[in-house]
Amino acid sequence: MSSAPNAAAPIVRIRDLRKSFGSHLVLGGIDFDVEPSQVVVVIGPSGSGKSTFLRCCNGLEVPEGGRVEICDRTLVDNGRLLPDAELNTLREEVGMVFQSFNLFPHLSALHNVALAPRKLRGLSREQADAEAHALLAKVGLAEKADAMPASLSGGQKQRVAIARALAMKPRVMLFDEPTSALDPELVGEVLQVMKVLAGEGMTMMVVTHEMNFAREVADVVVVMDHGTIIETGAPEQIFTEPTQPRTREFLQAVLNRG
Amino acid sequence: MALDFSPVWAGWPQLLKGAAVTVEVTAASLLLGCVIGLLIGIGRLDPRKWLIYWFCTAYVAVIRGTPLLVQLFILFFGLPQFNILLPAFVCGMLGMGIYSGAYVSEIVRGAIQSIDRGQMEAARSLGMPSGLAMRSVILPQALVRMIPPLGNEFIALIKNSALVSLLTIDDLMHEGQRIISVSYRSLEVYLAVAAVYFVLTGLTTIALRQVEVRLRAGGMVQ
């Protein structure tokens, strides 16, 4: 195996990922690679292990078996997580966006974005604030810089959360059901920001129930069920001619819902 | 026998001086209690750091499981056997601070654990070490939630501070007893002493309510 990173090498490499909570098997051996600049959308019924899979990619969950390599480093190997110091620097390169936003409620939108760069990237307050302003402008919230999270709508909160993750200049972005907690009319503004990111070549792994987003933006769609990947393919293939009956059942259920 | 409050009126300045000492020793104890409580409370967050966890758990168990008066006497009458002679005020402050620290630690632990798990996850996901995440994300939110229960702790401590009169500290209780020793008017003087304690705790309660109203208005407390 070559150790020199090059453009063609996968930026995320997952081998035989296994995880259970007590006696409940959540991930039953997952193998998957993500190429740089790829947008991977993970779909599947709830309880299929999608979120756990994503959370294993930045060490929020520790799988008990298998291996995750990300951004040229081994995050976890056979239940052994990277030591804390290295884990922290690796996490700077892997942005995470949560279903429940998890904005820091005691800080303004601007300081939510500027906190980590100031503390971790050693930026001065002025530099960090300037970068945060630019990121808020990018997600369309320039005028909300001084707003506290409690006064923002769900869609605005999630866009601040995306800006906050981008502030560490990550190489990979993980999205864990970023629109599932939003009112339907607010979903579009968040997906729009994600589309722009994808267009800029950001490597993205997205767990979502937004099938239209998957269809339009994904390079690869991964279908999970019962802790395993049952099907992988380009969106047109997954959505028009899925090979697995369980994929078909799932898509039928989801698409008929709207 | 008729009540005679004249010794109270005559001794009023003395009682006020005692009340000031009571407030001083209580405030100093609570300050010390907050420092101890913060350390012990954080020490009890992670059972995987078992040595720290068990030390802190044992501290809380022992301090809460024994009377404050006994703890004060150990400091004041016990330590001199090892030639450790501390001034009475220091003993009172230390004893009540150590005692209060055990209770404050539970306030600290409860407030930190009441902060949504997602906050720590978001901070760690950005690459923050756990200490930094605690300082800049968790504690600022937890501190706001600690203020109301800390106020209650302050009130309890004001009342408990009457025990330090037994260490020869000239607090409110002690000044009351001094007036009684010359006037023999126990009922009247103790009623007056109780009234002053009541004013102290009442003022604290009102001040606390103001703080809470302000925090609520700022959206910092639900």
For residue B127, the chain A residues in CB contact (below 8 A) are 88-92, 116, 120, 168
Residue A76 clears pLDDT 80, i.e. is over it: yes
When pLDDT is cut at 50, 70 and 90, the band that residue A1 belongs to is very low
Burial B144-182 (b: 16+ CB within 10 A, else e): bbbbbbbbebbbebbebbbbbbbbebbbbbbbbbbbbee
Q: Measure the CA–CA gap between A76 and B193, rounded to whole angstroms.
A: 66
List the structure tokens of B153.
Answer: 């702790």
Q: Measure the CA–CA gap between A50 and A229, rounded to whole angstroms.
A: 9
Residue A27, number of CB atoms within 10 A of its CB? 27
The pTM of this model reads 0.86
Q: Do B141 and A148 touch (CB under 8 A)?
A: no
Q: Decide: helix, strand or coil at residue A249.
A: helix
More confident residue, A50 or B209: A50
Residue B1 clears pLDDT 70, i.e. is over it: no
Question: Which of A66-70, A251-255, B118-122, B203-207 is the least confident region?
Answer: A251-255
Q: Measure the CA–CA gap between A37 and A4, rounded to whole angstroms.
A: 19
Question: What is the interface pTM, i.e. ipTM, of the complex?
Answer: 0.92
For residue A95, the chain B residues in CB contact (below 8 A) are 125
pLDDT of residue B222: 44
Residues of A at the B interface, defined by Cβ within 8 angstroms: 58, 60, 84-85, 88-92, 94-96, 98, 100, 102-106, 115-116, 119-120, 148, 150, 161, 164-165, 168
How confident is the model over A23-32, as pLDDT tens digits? Answer: 899 999 999 9
Nearest to B119 among A85, A102, A116 (CB): A102
Rounded mean pLDDT of A174-183?
Answer: 96
Q: Measure the CA–CA gap between B220 and B222, rounded to whole angstroms.
A: 7
pLDDT of residue A171: 97
User: How does DSSP assign A10-56, residue by residue?
Assistant: -SEEEEEEEEEETTEEEEEEEEEEE-TT-EEEEE--TTSSHHHHHHH
When pLDDT is cut at 50, 70 and 90, the band that residue B218 belongs to is low
Helices in chain B by DSSP H: which ranges? 6-10, 12-43, 50-64, 68-73, 88-114, 117-125, 130-133, 139-160, 172-183, 186-217
For residue A89, the chain B residues in CB contact (below 8 A) are 127
When pLDDT is cut at 50, 70 and 90, the band that residue B215 belongs to is confident
Residues linked to residue A14 through DSSP beta bridges, in sequence order:
A32, A68
Tell which residue, B34, B25, B11, has the closest CA to residue B153: B34
Tell which residue, A223, A227, A202, A225, has the closest CA to residue A214: A223
List the structure tokens of B146.
Answer: 């600690």
Q: Measure the CA–CA gap between B145 and A102, rounded to whole angstroms.
A: 18
Residues 6+ apart with CB under 8 A from A76: A56, A59, A62, A63, A66, A67, A68, A82
Residue B219 clears pLDDT 70, i.e. is over it: no
Q: What does DSSP assign to residue B37?
A: H
Residue A258 clears pLDDT 60, i.e. is over it: no
Rounded mean pLDDT of B186-206?
Answer: 96
Percent residues over pLDDT 70 in chain B: 97
User: What's chain A's average pLDDT?
Assistant: 94
Q: What does DSSP assign to residue B161?
A: G
Q: Measure the CA–CA gap between A209 and B105, rounded to whole angstroms.
A: 43
Residues 6+ apart with CB under 8 A from A216: A195, A235
Angle at B12 between CA B7 and CA B16, to 5 degrees: 145
pLDDT of residue A2: 44
When pLDDT is cut at 50, 70 and 90, the band that residue B161 belongs to is very high
Q: Decide: helix, strand or coil at residue A170.
A: coil
pLDDT of residue A256: 80
pLDDT of residue B211: 86
More confident residue, A185 or B218: A185
For residue B216, the chain A residues in CB contact (below 8 A) are none
User: What single-letter amino acid sits at B92?
Assistant: G
Residues 6+ apart with CB under 8 A from B33: B96, B97, B98, B99, B100, B101, B103, B104, B153, B157
| Integer CA distances (angstroms), A230 to A12, A197, A251, B42, in order | 19, 28, 13, 44
Q: Measure the CA–CA gap between A238 and B160, rounded to whole angstroms.
A: 71
Q: What is the dihedral of CA A219, A186, A208, B116, to 10 degrees?
A: 130
> Count of alpha carbons within 13 Å of A19, Cβ hemisphere only?
29
Q: Do B122 and A98 touch (CB under 8 A)?
A: yes
For residue A58, the chain B residues in CB contact (below 8 A) are 125
Q: How far is CA B170 from the centre of its chain?
A: 19
Percent residues over pLDDT 70 in chain A: 96
> Count of alpha carbons within 13 Å of A122, Cβ hemisphere only?
0
Residue A72, number of CB atoms within 10 A of its CB? 14
Tell which residue, A57, A17, A47, A44, has the closest CA to residue A232: A44
Judge contact between A116 and A134, C-beta under 8 A.
no
How confident is the model over B26-45, as pLDDT tens digits? Answer: 999 999 999 999 999 999 99
